Amino acid sequence: MNSAAPSPELVYVASQKDSATDGETISPFFQVMYDITDNLELSVGARYSDESKDSTFVHPYNNPGLGGIWRENEVAAADQTFREWSPEASLTWQINDAVMGYVAYKTAYKSGGFSNSGIFSADFMGGSESDFTFDQETAEGFEAGVKSTLLDNQLRLNLTAYTYTYDDLQVDFFNSPTFAFITLNAGEATTEGFEVETEFAPNAAPGLTLRGSLSFNKAEYDNFIAPCWAGQTAALGCNTTVPGTNGTPGQDISGEPTAMAPEWAASFGLSYDGILENGWGYGIALDGIYSDEYNASGFANPHAMRDSYTTLNASLYLAGVDDRWQVQLLGKNLTDEHIVSGVVDGPSTPLPGGEYADQLGFTSLPRTLAVQLSYRFQ
C-alpha cells in the first residue's frame, strides 16, 4: 500500500485501475445445403472458433485512507486460448406455398475471457488473481416450428418449440464484501419452452395492423454452486464454497430459475397509417408488454424477486408530402412500471443491526413523453 498522501486531484478518488485485453479471433463457417425433394431441404453447417487473449490488470493508485483493500501496482495477468467447433443441422419442409415447417439441431459458443471491469482485492479481502478469468460457454439443443402466411397474405402465424442446455453458463457477480466484479461459470442450465407470434393486416381495413406474441420459458440451473447472497446463513443454504474461487461462501441452487427469466411473457399492439386529403400522412401505434414475475438476481436471492408487470408504449405522428418532414409524439412506459433488469448486493450492507444486504438494481426509465421533429433533405 502506498502510504504517501494523494495528490490534490486524487484526494476523492478511491482507486484507479488500468486493464486491457489484446485478442485475435479466427472463425470460419461452413455450410452445405441439399434438396432431398422439391419441397424438403437438408442443411448442415459448422463454425470453428480459435481465439487467443492476453490480458492484464493493475491498480496504479489506491487511496491510503481505505486501508489497503485493493492491491496496488500488483499485476494480474492471463494468457488464454479457446478453440471450439459449433455444428448445426436443419431439415426444412415446404408443406405448401403458405406453410413451412422445420426441425433443427443447433449449438452455440461464447469464448471465455478476463474480467477487465474487475477489482483486485487484497488477500485479507479474499481476492485472488484467478477471480479475473472465466471459461468459455457452450450451448446445444433442438427446436421445431411452423412459419405460415395465411388468409391471402393477411395473417402471419409462427410457432416454435425449443429446448437448449448451456454448459459453463457465464454469470456476472459483484462480491460486495470484497468489492470485486467477476464472472463465474455455472455448471449447467436448461431452457425450454415455446413461442407463438402473429401479425394480422386485414384487407378490409387498409393501414391497420394487429400484432401479438405469447411465450412460455422454463429456464433453470441444473448444476450450479453459486455465491451466497449477503445475510444468507447455513440454515438458508449457505453451506459450501464456490469452486475455483478463494473460499467464497457458496450455495447449491441447482433447480432454481436463472436470472431475468419470467415463465410467461406476452406482447400486443396495433398501428394504423393513413393519408389526409392534402397528402399528409398520419399514424397511431399502441404496444403493450406483459411479463410474469421473475428473479432479478443470478443467485436465487429471494429478496430480488420482481412482480409481474404490464407496460404500454404509444406514438402519434404527422408527416408531410413525400415524408420530407415528420413530427411525432412519443409515450414510453405509460403505466410507469419500475422494471428491474438485474441486481447486486449493496456494498457495506447490511448495516449494523440489519439482516440482509440492500439490493442495487438496474432499472428502466419511468414514464417518458417526448416530441420528435425530423426533416429529410433531398
> What pLDDT does residue 57 have?
94
Q: What is the pLDDT at residue 205?
A: 95
Range(s) of the domain holding residue 118: 8-375
The answer to whether residue 129 sits within a structural domain is yes
Which pLDDT belongs to residue 150?
96
Q: What is the pLDDT of residue 235?
A: 92
Note whether residue 3 is domain-resident.
no
* Structure confidence at residue 286 (pLDDT): 98
Of 16, 87, 29, nearest to 57 (Cα)? Answer: 16
Which residues make beta-bridge pairs with 52? 24, 81
The model's confidence at residue 305, banded by pLDDT at 50, 70 and 90, is very high
In 10 A of CB 323, how many CB atoms?
Answer: 11
What local confidence, expressed as pLDDT, does residue 5 receive? 64
- Residue 36, domain member (yes or no): yes
pLDDT at residue 125, rounded to an integer? 64
Q: From 184, 162, 203, select the one nearest 246 (Cα to Cα).
A: 184
What Cα–Cα distance (Å) separates residue 378 from each residue in 36, 322, 375? 50, 10, 10
By CB neighbour count within 10 A (0-12 exposed, 13-18 middle, 19+ buried), where does 353 fall? exposed
- Give the cell for residue 301: 436471492
Global pTM value: 0.86
Amino acid 124: pLDDT? 64
pLDDT on residue 324: 87
Which grid cell sits at 51?
Answer: 481465439
| Residue 316, beta-bridge partner list | 284, 329
Q: Does 1 reside within a domain? A: no
Mean pLDDT check: name the lowest of 115-129, 234-248, 249-263, 359-373.
Answer: 115-129
For position 1, what pLDDT does the model report? 43
CB 102 within 8 A of CB 93: yes
pLDDT digits (tens, 9 = 90+) for 205-226: 999 999 999 999 999 999 999 9
Q: What length does the chain have?
A: 378
271 compared with 242, residue with greater pLDDT:
271
pLDDT at position 161 is 98
pLDDT higher than 80, residue 375 = yes
Task: In whole angstroms, give the CA distance from residue 137 to residue 131.
Answer: 17
Percent of the chain with pLDDT over 70: 95
- Give the pLDDT of residue 14: 83
Q: What is the mean pLDDT of the chain?
A: 91
CB of 133 closer than 8 Å to CB of 80: yes
Give domain status of residue 83, yes or no.
yes
Tell me: pLDDT of 351 over 70. Answer: no
Q: Which of 86, 356, 123, 374 is nearest to 236 (CA)?
A: 356
- The mean-pLDDT minimum among 137-141, 281-285, 347-351, 364-368 falls in 347-351
**pLDDT by residue (tens digit) across 254-297?**
999 999 999 999 999 999 999 999 999 999 999 999 999 999 99
Domains of the chain: total: 1
Please determine, for residue 2, whether its predicted confidence score (pLDDT) is greater than 60: no
- Residue-wise pLDDT tens digits, 134-193: 999 999 999 999 999 999 999 999 999 999 999 999 988 877 766 677 788 888 999 999
**In 3-state terms, what secondary structure has residue 269?**
strand
> In the structure grid, which three cell numbers stand for residue 127, read together?
481476492
Domain membership flag for residue 236 = yes
Q: What integer pLDDT is reported at residue 37 of this predicted model?
A: 96
The whole-number pLDDT of residue 4 equals: 58
CATH, residue 226: 2.40.170.20
Say if 163 falls within a structural domain: yes
Does 2 fall in a domain?
no
